[in-house]
Amino acid sequence: MDFHDSPQETAFRAEVRDFLRRELPQRGGIDPYAGFGGADFYLQFMDKLAARGWVAPAWPKEYGGAGLSVVQQFIFNQEMATARAPRPSPIAVGFAGPTLIVHGTEDQKQKYLSEILSGRVHWCQGYSEPGAGSDLASLQTRAVHDGDDYVVNGQKIWTSLGHLAKWMILLARTDPDAPKHRGISYFVLDMKSPGVTVRPLVNMAGTHEFNEVFFEDVRVPRENLIGEENRGWYLAQTTLSFERSNIGSAVGQQQIVEDLIRVAKDPSTAGMRMDGINHAVRTELVDRYVETEVATMMSYRIVTMQARGLIPSQEASAAKLFSTELNQRIYRTAMKVLGPYGQVLGRSPAHALLKGQVAYMYLRSVANTIEGGTSEIQRNIVATRGLGLPRN
Ligand SMILES: Cc1cc2nc3c(=O)[nH]c(=O)nc-3n(C[C@H](O)[C@H](O)[C@H](O)COP(=O)(O)OP(=O)(O)OC[C@H]3O[C@@H](n4cnc5c(N)ncnc54)[C@H](O)[C@@H]3O)c2cc1C
């Protein structure tokens, strides 16, 4: 198997690198506090991506994408991660848009996709509820026919980017008498609709990423139903497969491990006054290095499937499981390599290495194995769909 770029892919990689060198001359690290919205730099950079069709490079040309291959998209993602570039809205581009491409009507695609490709619009995902997380099909939010609309009542929780989003992909129960998986429908909901209330939740890393969202007699036009009524569960699975394929970033993981190796060789390169690492930490670093290579191979597998027009299912679950648990191991190792320096949280203190990314990610990575479905759920999926083991 040859993982090297073809001549065409080499040229594309050079084009992306050149663009990033020009447009991101000063960027040298992720700022976990910058958030997604608002900042002028972010919006200007999105405009530059949009001008090239690079907000979602692999989307079809007829909907405003650049029509690039999935492999080119992968190369693009690698270069963006290597340059630590700001990314377009992860939900809009990563899984709401791709689900609409598969399941939306022509009118729905025309309406939503070109707007997503501007890079300026956020979406959120209204799946989880206080009583429905892993057992998502138990969700209780109701959508009831009324004239040309559905009327929605209920509550969602852990809604990432709900405070910034223009649109939500919403799962709501349309038939309370059907078996639980068969009475759910999939909608696009305008977050500015009367009756929608968004309340912030702050995570343990101190950032406001997710929210509670309440619906009180919210009217959703019938044309916002995606797919068939009561078949939303199957669309929700498509979305989750795209989401799980996207959660772990093997390139980002390789970068942080490389940073740690550099610091372990010579702490003074990071301005640290401390002794080198001990034997146990050295061994851990080797393990993390090997594991990031494995994570990279797993992401190649996903890309290869997508390039063949397949939607990864248990493969996405296996990759999500491995890369999110790896993320936690990486930041535990990072804490040992950086010692007290690793614990400085916040962007301004002089000793916050990598803009406080290690302390932030040490805390934030706990959530990686919960969001998009917990590790236990991914193991269940791999066990049943992947290995054919019995449900217990
Ligand atoms: C950072 C973050 C962002 C999120 N963003 C969103 C979002 O944007 N939109 C959204 O809809 N949701 C979002 N979520 C919610 C997420 O999808 C749920 O938290 C997750 O699915 C788990 O559900 P739960 O929290 O209700 O836990 P529960 O389902 O109550 O699970 C509790 C524990 O029981 C275990 N468990 C449950 N069922 C089984 C089983 N069958 N077998 C083995 N173990 C089991 C779980 O693994 C877990 O350890 C987000 C979560 C986080 C942490």
> Residue 32: is its pLDDT beyond 60?
no
Per-residue tokens: 151: 């009327």
d(CA 59, CA 68): 7
* Active-site residue list: 243
> Residue 87: is its pLDDT beyond 80?
yes
Average of per-residue pLDDT across 40-48: 87
Q: How confident is the model at residue 60 (pLDDT cuts 50, 70, 90)?
A: confident
Q: Which residues pair with 218 in a beta bridge?
A: 152
Is 141 in a helix, a strand, or coil?
coil
Would you say 263 and 312 are in contact if contact means Cβ atoms under 8 Å apart?
Answer: no
Q: Which residue's CA is the nearest one to ligand 1's atom 37?
A: 134
Domain ranges of the chain: 7-88, 124-228, 248-386
Provide the mean pLDDT of the chain.
89
What pLDDT is recorded for position 43?
A: 86
Q: How confident is the model at residue 1 (pLDDT cuts 50, 70, 90)?
A: low
Q: What are the start-end ranges of the H helices in 266-374?
A: 279-307, 314-338, 357-368
| Arch. (CATH architecture) of 7-88 | Orthogonal Bundle (1.10)
In the reported structure, the alpha carbon of residue 169 is separated from the centroid of ligand 1 by a whole-number distance in angstroms of 17
User: Could you identify the atom of ligand 1 that is nearest to the CA of residue 162?
Assistant: 8
Helix or strand run (H / E) with residue 107: helix 106-116
Q: Decide whether any atom of ligand 1 lies within 6 Å of the 243 Cβ.
A: no
In the reported structure, the alpha carbon of residue 90 is separated from the centroid of ligand 1 by a whole-number distance in angstroms of 19
In the reported structure, the alpha carbon of residue 87 is separated from the centroid of ligand 1 by a whole-number distance in angstroms of 25
User: Could you identify the atom of ligand 1 that is nearest to the CA of residue 373?
Assistant: 21
Q: How far is CA 158 from CA 34, 140, 180, 370, in A?
A: 20, 16, 22, 11
Would you say 217 and 196 are in contact if contact means Cβ atoms under 8 Å apart?
Answer: no
- 339-390 pLDDT, tens digit each: 888 888 766 556 566 667 888 899 999 999 999 999 999 999 999 999 999 9
Q: Which residue's CA is the nearest one to ligand 1's atom 7?
A: 159
Q: Which amino acid is at 161?
A: L
Superfamily grouping for domain 248-386: Butyryl-CoA Dehydrogenase, subunit A, domain 3 (1.20.140.10)
* Fold for the domain defined by 124-228: Butyryl-CoA Dehydrogenase, subunit A; domain 2 (2.40.110)
Is 169 in a helix, a strand, or coil?
strand
Q: Decide whether any atom of ligand 1 lies within 6 Å of the 384 Cβ.
A: no
Q: Which residue's CA is the nearest one to ligand 1's atom 35?
A: 376
Average of per-residue pLDDT across 224-239: 96
Q: Which amino acid is at 83?
A: A
Average of per-residue pLDDT across 66-87: 86
What pLDDT is recorded for position 25?
A: 66
Q: Which residues pair with 125 in a beta bridge?
A: 169
d(CA 75, CA 10): 9
What pLDDT is recorded for position 118?
A: 92
What pLDDT is recorded for position 77?
A: 86
In the reported structure, the alpha carbon of residue 133 is separated from the centroid of ligand 1 by a whole-number distance in angstroms of 5
- 175-208 pLDDT, tens digit each: 999 999 999 999 999 999 999 999 999 999 888 9
Domains 124-228 and 248-386 share a fold: no
Look at 2 and 115; give whichever has higher pLDDT.
115
d(CA 168, CA 182): 21
Q: Decide whether any atom of ligand 1 lies within 6 Å of the 373 Cβ.
A: yes
CA-CA-CA-CA dihedral for 190, 195, 196, 202, to nearest 10:
170
Q: CB-hemisphere CA count at 13 Å for 114?
A: 9
Is 64 in a helix, a strand, or coil?
coil
Cβ count near 97 (within 10 Å): 27
Would you say 334 and 362 are in contact if contact means Cβ atoms under 8 Å apart?
Answer: yes
What pLDDT is recorded for position 38?
A: 46
Q: What is the pTM of this model?
A: 0.92
